[in-house]
A and B are shown apart, each in its own frame.
Chain A
């Protein structure tokens, strides 16, 4: 059962072929078996999951209408607020804090009948690309326990890869869904900015953050995305437009679609891209061409500056977003200090990990008087350039293709230098800066047989065509074309 898609599970539960309780026990059993070595979760909510399953079974028995994800287990990144359930961001500073409300996505999942099995580990406040920055210890890649799962949503990616849940949610600020999806061999998608409400997502960088799905296949990804997407009046940046249905597109193929391979990211000119990763990206492009797509290389010159702009903008917003963790109202407070300022300083010094502090300092500096325009102002102008470059590329192409991550999953400690770690996000960051959707689809393997992810990028609100191409890549991959 743990190999089944969410769609198949939901259908079985709805038809009564299997009970939600059985489904939940099956997945909790998998968690019992392997969680001790993977550490995907900060918290497993077994009792609540069993109670939710019973309720769904009662409704099925009573012949009531149930949601499209009824009985399907899901793991939630531990930066999504869950009413009555500790939400930590994998940080000591949120010690003991229990949200009094549910994130909008959590409400929508509950309405759809999905069953939360736990809160997944992440790099503290979603800052990192390996989940090594968690205050509660790293998550291991279920495919090779000596390697990282990627990050920051490493726990959510690992949970799906390990079969702890068929679905999970992550958040993606600079690649935090797509990169761990690639490294764990699952599907991960970052939606267009504004399509999924951020209400209840603990902010890292507000103008870049989006919540998105992890799944084992493309169709489940689309289903989960459609469940959580849609306008929400509690998020001012939420887009009021209705979404075009995606599922009907998945079997349509790519005949005649124009696919651009981003030469800056797939051409091997940037440092740190493994040859196998580049080769799989080429093969993916060839597979799409074979399926009838018009494939050509395209230059999106400013993408290479994305990384620099990102590491000014994201820390700047983070420095402000994370100011509220001051020990005054909730979370960790250092006792015995002489005055409020000393208490705040001590609480933040002890409560935050090194990477979070590094980014708060970077961001504070970038916004400071005298540096504001040279750093933050200039980064925003680069952001505008990237959007323009993308717009230009999308005049000639329906989607763009690139590797998701320059490399396959790497061993723990391999990228101890922050700058080396930051380079992992070079291919994913441009979509965040532009606000565009992008998905990582597993496509063959690279070094040491670890999975490679290929990224499909689309213009604003281009999820339908993006999924259409992703589904074709998935078919090509499972056909053996890419392996």
Chain B
């Protein structure tokens, strides 16, 4: 039967689906019991950042009034014909190469099924001859996930259902917006190499970083530029069998992806342990209920009747073109992480820096012979703000140098960094303006001696062990220096003097 009927009235009829539904809420503990492992493969749809659609001159742009970014071709009007967008092919090849795929002569095929979102009632996709095949992606953990294929296709429109009553004589209606219909998509299909929800999230995050890095997509989940379906099954740990999988749809964020996988895997294990087994089917993630629900069963799934689209000719990228594209690829996240690690960063911070596209700052520090770990502390903790990407690397290098040289305290450096981002000004200038000029420990020591001389009783009680009096001395010195003293240095001096004074 047809897809949309099930979307309108979800069917959840199998006995097996009654799992834990009685209680209404999923169990607290979704961890898999010992002896089981997850087998996960992901299908990620990426919208390509082209100016026009996959086969039509209509604009490819998110947002806009419904049905304003359309053209007879993407509306599938009678007599119209598709023409392949060369830019979409180029972006797809970029991603393919970044995923270590083989790029091959490819054929567009029609995937036939009736759906009101889909103007031609078939989707132009690729079937037995996809553009990119046999690649892999290496996660920050070092684990490699195989890529089966990354093929081109066109997106569908969007339906809004209004006033659905479900009753025959009082049926509601649906509105369809075809702005998205025909937007170029790259569908990236992984091998079932992913072993858990965290790894699934890491995979998608890495993929997102790659498609953004090569300029193929903006990778925005919230705008639907990236959409993920997860094929989930379980098996006894260490075995290499592939058991019945379920495809989870409607996962709208990385967090949901992790939750949905965790839930579904536990559901499978519980079915096996109860002597049952899951059925192969499509299930929808219910974010509010925190569980998956059965959609249509794959046994009843549509026969898509694929055949090569006779309106299009095969796309056969020349080796020269492919090599040109390869040569022009920017450094990829994996290589960038390695470069930072080689410069002395810790792997976790390096991954974050690359993820935020701020690794260039740390590399600039490294190139200037500066303190890379210190720069990473700023990148990880103090640059989680808009505009961080526009920060002038020269200023950043200078800031790290000033801090490392003791001209600025870490607190001052953090404050100045924030102002550098918001104002675009340099650190030296800002430091002078704030009066953050250097204050060496010799000056501090003589000031501290004066304060001790003025407060003999307090000093004696501090030396005798009344630790809270440290605050009094710190406060006094901060007052005297108008807050310019480095708290750490003050604490060190106090400790030294106390040690000397202690009998």
Check if A234 sits within 8 Å of B114, measured CB to CB: no
Residues of B within 8 A of A397 (CB): none
Chain B positions within 8 Å of A337 at CB level: 171
- Residue contact B81 to A236, C-beta cutoff 8 Å: yes
Stretch at the interface among A25-33, A198-206, A351-359, A426-434: A198-206
> How many residues on the B side are at the interface (Cβ–Cβ under 8 A)?
35
Question: Given the complex of chains A and B, what is the CA–CA distance between A87 and B311 in angstroms?
Answer: 21
Chain A CB within 10 Å, residue with most, of B82, B114, B312:
B114
Expressed in whole angstroms, the Cα–Cα distance for A100 and B76 within the complex equals 12
In this assembly, does A63 line the interface, its C-beta being within 8 Å of a C-beta of chain B? no
- Given A236-B313, A341-B2, A324 and B307 touching (CB < 8 A)? no
Of A79, A236, A324, A367, the contact of B305 (CB 8 Å cutoff): A367
Task: For A235, give the chain B residue with the smallest CB separation.
Answer: B81
A103 CB within 8 Å of chain B: yes
Known interface pairs A323-B112, A326-B114, A368-B303. Does A202 touch B78 (Cβ–Cβ under 8 Å)? yes
Q: Tell me, in angstroms, the Cα distance from A206 to B116 when the chains sit together.
A: 23
Q: Which of B72, B83, B84, B122 contacts A101 (CB 8 A)?
A: B72
Is A237 a contact partner of B311 (Cβ separation < 8 A)? yes
Interchain CB contact under 8 A, B83 and A233 = yes
How would residues 58 to 95 of chain B score, 1 for a CB under 8 Å from any chain A CB and 0 otherwise?
00000000000000100111111111100000000000
- The smallest C-beta distance from B128 to any residue of chain A, in angstroms, reads 11
Let me know if B460 is at the binding interface, CB within 8 A.
Answer: no
User: Which residue, of B82, B84, B121, B312, has the highest number of chain A Cβ atoms within 10 A?
Assistant: B121
Our pick among B1, B114, B119, B313 for the contact of A237 (Cβ within 8 Å) is: B313
Write the chain B residue with the least CB distance to A330: B77
State A202–B80 Cα separation when bound (angstroms): 8
- A203 with B79: CB separation less than 8 A: yes
Residues of A within 8 A of B311 (CB): 203, 206, 236-237
Residues of A within 8 A of B78 (CB): 81, 87, 89, 94, 97, 99, 202-203, 324
A320 within 8 A of B: yes
C-alpha gap A196/B420 in the complex (Å): 63
Residues from chain A with Cβ under 8 Å of B2 in the complex: 341
CA distance A136 to B116 in the complex (A): 28
- CB of B310 within 8 A of CB of A206, answer yes
Q: Verify A236–B114 contact, CB threshold 8 A.
A: no
| Closest chain B residue to A103, Cβ basis | B79
Q: How far is the CA of A79 from the CA of B312 in the complex (A)?
A: 21
Residues of chain B within 8 A (CB-CB) of A87 are 78-79
Query: Which B107-163 residues sit within 8 Å CB-CB of chain A?
Result: 110, 112, 114, 116, 119-122
B116 touches A340 (CB 8 A): yes
State whether the Cβ of B176 lies closer than 8 Å to any Cβ in chain A: yes
| B5 in contact (CB, < 8 A) | yes
Contact of B83 (CB < 8 Å), options: A207, A234, A369: A234
Q: Tell whether, in the assembled complex, residue B81 and residue A326 are in contact, meaning their CB atoms are under 8 Å apart.
A: no
| A99 and B79 contact, CB distance less than 8 A | yes
In the complex, chain A residues 215-273 whose Cβ is within 8 Å of any chain B Cβ: 233-237
- Which of the residues A234, A319, A340 comes within 8 Å of B81, measured between beta carbons? A234
Which residues of chain A are near B171, meaning CB under 8 Å?
337-339
CA separation between A317 and B122, bound complex, in Å?
12
| CB–CB A199/B305 < 8 A | no
List B contacts of A100 (CB < 8 A): 72, 77
Per the bound structure, the CA–CA distance linking A324 and B79 in Å amounts to 11
Contact indicator A369/B303 (Cβ below 8 Å): yes
**How many Å from the CB of B316 to the closest CB on chain A?**
13
Which single member of B84, B112, B307 contacts A236 (CB below 8 Å)? B84
Q: Considering only CB atoms and an 8 Å cut-off, how many residues of chain A contact the other chain?
A: 47
Is B312 in contact with A341, judged by CB distance below 8 angstroms? Answer: no
> For the complex, what is the distance from the CA of A55 to the CA of B264, rounded to whole Å?
71
Rounded to whole angstroms, the CA-CA distance of A187 and B310 in the bound complex is: 29
The answer to whether B307 touches A320 (Cβ under 8 A) is yes
Cα–Cα, bound, A326→B310 (Å)? 21
Bound: A232/B394 CA distance, A: 53
Residues of chain A contacted by B168 (CB below 8 angstroms): 338
Is A323 a contact of B122 with CB atoms below 8 Å? yes
Instruction: Give the one of B4, B75, B82, B303 with max A CB within 10 A.
Output: B303
Q: Given the complex, which residues of A lie within 8 Å of B112, measured CB to CB?
A: 319-320, 323, 367
CB contacts (< 8 Å) of B8 on chain A: these are 339-340
Nearest chain B CB to A331's CB is how many angstroms away? Answer: 9
B174 contacts chain A at the CB level, 8 A cutoff: yes
Asked whether, in the complex, the Cβ of A201 is within 8 Å of the Cβ of B79, the reply is: yes
Nearest opposing residue in chain B for A203, CB measure: B79
Give the residues in chain B near A372, CB-CB below 8 Å. Answer: 305, 307
A74-108 vs B, CB cutoff 8 Å, 1 = contact: the mask equals 00000111000001010000100101110100000
Expressed in whole angstroms, the minimum distance between the Cβ of B156 and any Cβ of chain A is 12
For A338, list chain B residues within 8 Å (CB).
168, 171
Contacts of A317 in B (CB 8 A): 307, 310
Asked if B84 and A341 sit within 8 Å, CB to CB, the answer is no
Let me know if A198 and B77 touch, CB within 8 A. Answer: no
Residues of A close to B313: CB separation below 8 A: 236-237
A424 within 8 A of B: no
**Closest residue of A by beta carbon distance from B9:** A339
Q: How far is the CB of A41 from chain B (nearest CB, A)?
A: 19
For B5, give its contact among A233, A330, A339 (CB under 8 Å): A339
Complex Cα gap A341–B6 (Å): 11
Q: Are A341 and B310 in contact (CB under 8 A)?
A: no
- With A320-B122, A323-B112 given, is the CB distance from A329 to B307 under 8 Å? no
Q: Within the complex, which residue of B120, B122, B174, B307 is in contact with A316, where a contact is CB–CB below 8 Å? A: B307
Which residues on B sit within 8 Å (CB–CB) of A202?
Answer: 78-79
Q: How far apart are the CA atoms of A291 and B8 in the complex, in Å?
A: 72
Question: Shortest distance in angstroms between A394's beta carbon and chain B's nearest beta carbon?
Answer: 23
| With A236-B81, A338-B171 as contacts: A376 and B307 at CB distance below 8 Å | yes
Query: When chains A and B are docked, how far (Å) is the Cα of A340 from the Cα of B9?
Result: 12
Residue from the list B81, B110, B119 in contact with A199, Cβ < 8 A: B81
Instruction: Give bound CA distance, A235 to B305, whole Å.
Output: 24
A10 at the interface (CB under 8 A from B): no
A320 pairs with B110, CB closer than 8 A: yes
Contact of A341 among B4, B120, B122, B307 (CB under 8 A): B4
Q: Which residue of chain A has the shortest Cβ distance to B78 in the bound complex?
A: A202
Distance (whole angstroms) from the CB of A363 to the closest CB of chain B: 9
Residues of A within 8 A of B76 (CB): 324, 329
Map CB proximity to B onto A313-337 as digits: 1 under 8 Å, 0 otherwise. Answer: 0001101100110101110000001
> In the complex, given contacts A205-B310, A339-B171, A367-B305, what are 6 additional A-B residue pairs having Cβ atoms less than 8 angstroms apart?
A87-B78, A202-B79, A317-B307, A323-B121, A330-B77, A341-B2
B→A interface (CB under 8 Å): 1-2, 4-5, 8, 72, 75-84, 110, 112, 114, 116, 119-122, 168, 171, 174, 176, 303, 305, 307, 310-313
Can you give 22 contacting A-B residue pairs, CB < 8 Å? A79-B79, A81-B79, A99-B72, A99-B79, A199-B81, A200-B80, A202-B79, A205-B310, A206-B310, A206-B311, A236-B84, A236-B312, A320-B112, A320-B122, A323-B120, A337-B171, A340-B8, A341-B1, A341-B4, A344-B114, A367-B112, A367-B307
